[in-house]
Amino acid sequence: MATQGERRAETRGRLLDAAADLFIERGVEGASIDAIADRADRTSGAVYAHFGGKDGLLFALLDGWVDDASAVIAAELSTATTLDERLGVLWRNVSSPVSGDGRWIALEHELWSYAARNPDAREHMARRYRGAWNSITEATHDWTGEWTNVGPAVIGLLLGLEMMRRIDPGAVPDDLAIDALRGVVAGTTRRAERR
């Protein structure tokens, strides 16, 4: 017999899976709490009890996948020795992440669209991105020895290139993505040197 903790974890997992599927199919605004609960074979009360509502579900999904991706990136970066290898690690973990069943990046784009119309979601997303930007800025300092605010440009380029690859896979081969990322890092480093 399952413990209460195991049942809660199972319910939470089912709700997250159902929400991920429906957010991708219908968008955040088109996926109702009842539809998510129905898909998970749970009640709408379970959604509120575990996540407080639809936004809580969306944030839990993305935060969980970002945490997973961050762990994989950190492990892979520990063995990378060149700038291109490091940039390749970032690119692979955005374009072909090992976690999230390929759904997380689609939901990242959905969250961006949703946040553009919803101030609470926008603030949550801004906090997440500021953390990612700071991590990238610190990492590039370690790699290049220069302090430049390159994080926003790198994250923006990663997501933009991934979007283009999703639409036309042949348009963004790995070497093009790494060349573009190298250009952003080198360009901001050169700009910082000119100051």
- Check residues 142 and 175 and name the one with the higher pLDDT: 175
Are 3 and 45 contacting, i.e. CB atoms less than 8 angstroms apart? no
User: By 3-state DSSP, what share of the chain in percent is helix, strand and coil, each rounded to 5?
Assistant: 80, 0, 20
CA angle 192, 194, 195 (to 5 degrees): 70
Q: Is the pLDDT of residue 22 over 80?
A: yes
Same domain, 110 and 157: yes
The residue out of 36, 52, 68 marking a domain boundary is: 52
- Check residues 193 and 171 and name the one with the higher pLDDT: 171
Same domain, 181 and 105: yes
Same domain, 12 and 45: yes
Same domain, 162 and 134: yes
Q: Is the pLDDT of residue 110 over 90?
A: no
The beta strand positions in the chain, using DSSP E, are none
Fill in the amino acid letter for 194: R
Question: For residue 72, what are its two tokens?
Answer: 């994989």
> What is the number of structural domains in the chain?
2
Q: Is the pLDDT of residue 194 over 50?
A: no
pLDDT at 143: 87
Average pLDDT, the chain: 89
pLDDT at 97: 84
Are 180 and 161 contacting, i.e. CB atoms less than 8 angstroms apart? yes
pLDDT at 195: 47
pLDDT at 104: 76
Same domain, 67 and 96: yes
pTM: 0.81
Same domain, 82 and 169: yes
Structure confidence by residue, pLDDT tens digits, 63-98? 888 788 888 999 999 999 999 999 999 999 999 887
Same domain, 77 and 24: no
Which CATH number goes with the domain that contains 161? 1.10.357.10
CA angle 125, 130, 134 (to 5 degrees): 150
Same domain, 68 and 47: no
Fill in the amino acid letter for 81: T
Question: pLDDT band at residue 100, thresholds of 50, 70 and 90?
Answer: low
Q: Which domain holds residue 21?
A: 1-52
- Mean pLDDT for 138-153 is 89
Radius of gyration of the CA atoms of the chain, in A: 19
Question: pLDDT band at residue 172, thresholds of 50, 70 and 90?
Answer: very high
Same domain, 189 and 96: yes
Same domain, 38 and 64: no
Output phi, psi for 81, to 5 deg.
-120, -20
Q: Is the pLDDT of residue 4 over 80?
A: yes
Same domain, 117 and 21: no
Structure confidence by residue, pLDDT tens digits, 177-192? 999 999 999 876 555 4
Which CATH number goes with the domain that contains 3? 1.10.10.60
Same domain, 94 and 46: no
